[in-house]
């Protein structure tokens, strides 16, 4: 099917997921939407995030004719996935970044105590905690909000002294002392995966959702008969507020610089 895949995030962090999707499904075209006018989502209420997510999904489906939606943001997945899934049930697949990760972790018998690091809203939603305790009651988990990380990464602070110090402070928390697995429950965090791995000196298995979600999307598109067979048209990357610094930062998340286009979905009254 030649329609594009719609992917959205609060900003440009979700480009880590978009990049994994392009690797797993190179023949597909994508429409990415980064809600840069409202980033960060991580400290906003679930109600407000859900309101944003519904409007963005509407844009991707009605204006851009997407055949599937990927919520490439843990915070938006925690706040709005159920609402979107119920709204589009039976018409288009809506994929979140949390459920494929839950499956991945619970299938790993080597993990007995998993840490979860994410934004405040994701942790406060209790979604990971609820799903882990329901799906695998014997799995111990420790969930911790790490609000500085997404901002730090977006400002280009990773693999340096500042990120080292911030990570040391968070990861040294006694709560994470005896974990053997760690879920990077924010789509910004793949950028600091190596640093986190180095901090734990390889003792902790690090789970990052980008690849897991891309593989899950491939399975769903295949099952629904929605896979694109021939190489398709070009990709588009929209943001709700354009600044040059967002465009420059796309390189770190997508592994190549992309041209951002501004979409005026929130422009009414401007």
Continuous H helices in the chain? 15-24, 46-58, 74-88, 99-106, 120-125, 127-135, 148-154, 161-171, 193-199, 209-223, 244-254
- Binding range to ligand DGL, per CB under 6 A, among 35-43, 53-61, 176-184, 252-260: 35-43
- Binding range to ligand DGL, per CB under 6 A, among 40-48, 135-143, 212-220, 245-253: 40-48
Provide the minimum distance between the beta carbon of 221 and ligand DGL in the complex, in angstroms, as a whole number.
22
240 touches ligand DGL by CB under 6 A: no
HSE on the CB side for 178, CA within 13 Å? 4
239 touches ligand DGL by CB under 6 A: no
Provide the minimum distance between the beta carbon of 14 and ligand DGL in the complex, in angstroms, as a whole number.
6
15 touches ligand DGL by CB under 6 A: no
Query: Which residues in 51-80 contact ligand DGL (CB under 6 A)?
Result: 73-75
Residue 224, number of CB atoms within 10 A of its CB:
13
**Whole-angstrom Cα distance, residue 154 to residue 246?**
9
Q: How many residues in the shown chain lie near ligand DGL by CB under 6 A?
A: 18
Query: Which residues in 169-228 contact ligand DGL (CB under 6 A)?
Result: 186-188
Tell me the C-alpha to C-alpha distance, in Å, between residue 222 and each of 23, 65, 69, 89, 227: 16, 19, 15, 18, 6
SS3 content of the chain, % helix, strand, coil (to 5): 45, 15, 40
When binding is defined by CB under 6 A, the residue of 4, 34, 42, 100 that contacts ligand DGL is 42
Is 186 a catalytic site residue?
yes
Give the residue closest to ligand DGL by C-beta.
42
When binding is defined by CB under 6 A, the residue of 150, 182, 191, 213 that contacts ligand DGL is 150
**Whole-angstrom Cα distance, residue 1 to residue 19?**
20
Provide the minimum distance between the beta carbon of 81 and ligand DGL in the complex, in angstroms, as a whole number.
12
Pairing of strands 181-184, 236-239: unpaired
19 touches ligand DGL by CB under 6 A: no
Query: Which residues in 80-119 contact ligand DGL (CB under 6 A)?
Result: 119
Residue 147: which residues within 8 A CB-CB, separation 6 or more? 42, 43, 119, 120
Q: Which residue has the tokens 């491939």?
A: 218
Catalytic choice (15, 127, 186, 258): 186
* Complex with ligand DGL: residue 124 or 227, whichever CB lies closer: 124
- Tell me the two tokens of residue 149: 């990380």
Q: How far apart are the first and last CA of the chain?
A: 37
**Whole-angstrom Cα distance, residue 179 to residue 51?**
35
41 touches ligand DGL by CB under 6 A: yes
* Complex with ligand DGL: residue 34 or 228, whichever CB lies closer: 34
Provide the minimum distance between the beta carbon of 154 and ligand DGL in the complex, in angstroms, as a whole number.
8
SS3 60: helix
Q: What are the catalytic residues?
A: 73, 186
Where on the chain is the footprint of ligand DGL (CB under 6 A)? 9-11, 13-14, 39-42, 73-75, 119, 122, 150, 186-188
């Amino acid at each position: 099917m030649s329609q594009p895949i719609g992917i959205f995030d609060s900003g440009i962090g979700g480009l880590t997921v978009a990049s994994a999707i392009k690797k797993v499904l190179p023949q597909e075209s994508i429409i990415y939407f980064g809600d840069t006018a409202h980033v960060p989502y991580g400290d906003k209420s679930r109600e407000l995030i859900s309101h944003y997510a519904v409007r963005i999904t509407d844009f991707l489906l009605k204006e851009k004719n997407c055949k599937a939606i990927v919520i490439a943001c843990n915070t938006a997945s925690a706040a709005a996935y159920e609402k979107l899934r119920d709204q589009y049930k039976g018409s288009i697949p809506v994929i979140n970044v949390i459920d494929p990760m839950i499956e991945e972790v619970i299938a790993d018998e080597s993990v007995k105590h998993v840490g979860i690091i994410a934004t405040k809203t994701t942790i406060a939603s209790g979604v990971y905690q609820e799903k882990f305790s329901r799906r695998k009651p014997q799995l111990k988990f420790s969930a911790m909000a790490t609000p500085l990380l997404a901002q730090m990464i977006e400002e280009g602070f990773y693999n340096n002294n500042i990120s080292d110090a911030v990570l040391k402070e968070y990861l040294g928390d006694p709560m994470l002392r005896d974990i053997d697995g760690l879920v990077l429950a924010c789509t910004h965090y793949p950028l600091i995966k190596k640093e986190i791995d180095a901090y734990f000196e390889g003792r902790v298995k690090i789970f990052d959702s980008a690849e897991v979600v891309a593989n899950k999307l491939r399975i769903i598109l295949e099952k629904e008969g929605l896979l694109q067979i021939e190489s398709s048209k070009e990709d588009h990357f929209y943001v709700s507020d354009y600044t040059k610094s967002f465009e420059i930062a796309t390189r770190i998340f997508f592994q190549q610089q992309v041209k951002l286009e501004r979409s005026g979905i929130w422009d009414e009254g401007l």
